[in-house]
Amino acid sequence: LPSIDRYTSLKDDPKNGVNHQKMLCIFHGIQISLRMNPLLVYTSTSNKTGLQHQPELYHREISLTIRERVKPLISKQKYYKTHKDQDFREWDQALVSTLNFNNLKSPKKIIDSFLGPLTINRLIGKNSVKVTLTEEFSSKHSAFPVSLVQPYHQTGDDMFPSKSKSHTAKEIVEVEDSPVLVNKIIKAGNIRPNGNIYRQYLVRFKRKTADKDKVLTEDAIPDGDLHLRIFRASRRTEQSHQL
């Protein structure tokens, strides 16, 4: 048989036709050969160390080498079986991992594992998304790889340990009675249900966080005429700067 290093040095590379499942089969066959006759397989270093004359030590060395090289292949195999690519779309609500956030002041034990829900406002290929961050994190780059983004379904207490569950009746009444004021219109987009085109706007409200943003039609926006004029003027200014 050829040198074990010839196989164990190969990497899982789809472009070059190297498949980790085939590699596992090769290593399994080598292990069977070793049990039958340890001297059937040799390494590039065995001649230098003289291990070819010590079958037990030689067998142990190659077994450890195979085990070490096979571990990452088995991990890849498990990953491919359980991994499912996320299909994100614009306007989706998502959670962003705070793993690489360096500007969080709270102790690590009470820091939320995920920030959100946040609105995805743009897809950057298949591997990244751009979200609308809250004002607290406005200085941070708003593009994140999909590996750090999860779809938002419902708030989990284990993901958000720092959010308080208890609210007094007085606090709830104050929130409900407070008027809803629009802070700004963030983005506009079209939807086409049943072939009809409708214009929608992503709206942020005053004294509200980004997870309270809503997608509304023009007639549903409080003081919509005023805020739409401001939004359209800002869009024209941005386009003129780009030119």
* Domain definitions of the chain by residue range: 4-82, 85-165, 172-243
Domain spanning 172-243, CATH architecture: Beta Barrel (2.40)
Is there a contact between 201 and 187 (Cβ–Cβ < 8 Å)? yes
Question: Is the overall model pTM greater than 0.85, yes or no?
Answer: no
pLDDT for residue 43: 46
For residue 212, which of 139, 142, 119, 125 has the smallest C-alpha distance? Answer: 119
Residue count (the chain)? 243
Q: State what percent of residues in the chain have pLDDT above 90.
A: 0
User: What type of residue sits at position 153?
Assistant: H
Band (pLDDT 50/70/90 cuts) for residue 18 is very low
Residue 36 has a pLDDT of: 47
Highest mean pLDDT among 26-40, 155-169, 219-233: 219-233
Task: State the fold for domain 85-165.
Answer: SH3 type barrels. (2.30.30)
Structure-model confidence comparison of residues 168 and 182, the more confident one: 182
Q: Which of 34-38, 77-81, 201-205 has the highest mean pLDDT?
A: 201-205
Distance of CA 32 to the CA centre of its chain: 40
State mean pLDDT over 74-93. 72
